[in-house]
Amino acid sequence: MATYTVVGSSRGLGLAIVKELLARDPAEVGLVVAAARSPTQALDEVVKQSAGRAVFVPLDVVSESSAAECVEKISSLQIGSIDVLINCAGVHSWLQGGVALMNDLEYQLKVNVVGAHNVTRALLPLLQKGKSKKIANISSAYGSMTAAESSAFAPCPAYKISKASLNALTVQYALSYKEEGFVFMAVSPGWLKTEMGGEDAHLTVEEGAQAVLRVVDDADSSSNGCFKNIEVPGWDNYDGKNIPW
């Protein structure tokens, strides 16, 4: 009976992942800690209907003190450990004009990279007591420097840079904690029909959540430090293989 913490769970992919986890057998998923800066009506409803299997915990990822308070609240639940951490919190923006006009790089790095670092290191003692020791950082294929030219059509340089940096952070954690049996992964969830992805996207948010969880479920020591693509039948884009850095 595993305990999951999903960060950035108030909407979009994070909320869909919480729902998918709660749809599983309670013998498999015991508790889902849904962390977000503030709750939404949708998340409140999910928690209310979970029969105690989901708990909302406030968390502002850019604040170290908020991360520490989050740990205190989780510890007060007397669960003792966390088995899986999924870092979904993130921001995105579009840019009109050349990259020299980019003026939100610092903010996106703070949320998308430093935020994941704040959360991971704060929760690390609880993760060290867990059985699975899996951490999935939700990244993007846009963060691939090898494939940068293929995504040049998308004018979101700050987002791309921040996801490449998140990938680098993931690798460093993977190297630091592999001897303890941790599995750190960067996972691209595909192009999803969310507020960020828009209605022209390839997959529903439910499909994305299911595919991300399959990656997490299947992960073992060989996945540590990898940049994982989801696998969705019928889509060549989503072949389940590692994405080049």
As given in the structure block, the two tokens for residue 220 are 């073992």
Report residues of the chain scoring pLDDT below 70. 197
Region 2-229: CATH code:
3.40.50.720
Q: In whole angstroms, what is the distance from residue 201 CA to residue 105 CA? A: 25
As given in the structure block, the two tokens for residue 35 are 């962390």
3-state secondary structure 63-83: CHHHHHHHHHHHHHCCCCCCC
Specify whether the CB–CB gap between 141 and 147 falls below 8 A: yes
Collapse the DSSP code of 100 into the 3-class scheme (helix H, G, I; strand E, B; otherwise coil) and give the result. Answer: helix
Helices within the chain (DSSP H only): 12-22, 41-48, 64-76, 105-109, 115-128, 157-177, 205-218
Which helix or strand (DSSP H or E) is residue 156 part of?
A: none
Give DSSP secondary structure letters for 218-233. H--GGGTTEEEEPB-T
As given in the structure block, the two tokens for residue 36 are 């977000």
Length of the chain as a residue count: 245
At residue 195, the pLDDT reads 73
At residue 202, the pLDDT reads 86
For residue 179, with 0-12 CB atoms within 10 Å meaning exposed, 13-18 middle and 19 or more buried, which class applies?
exposed
Tell me the domain boundaries of the chain: 2-229
At residue 112, the pLDDT reads 98
CB contact set of 43 (below 8 Å; sequence gap of 6+):
9, 10, 11, 15, 18, 34, 36, 56
Specify whether the CB–CB gap between 81 and 1 falls below 8 A: no
pTM, rounded to two decimals: 0.95
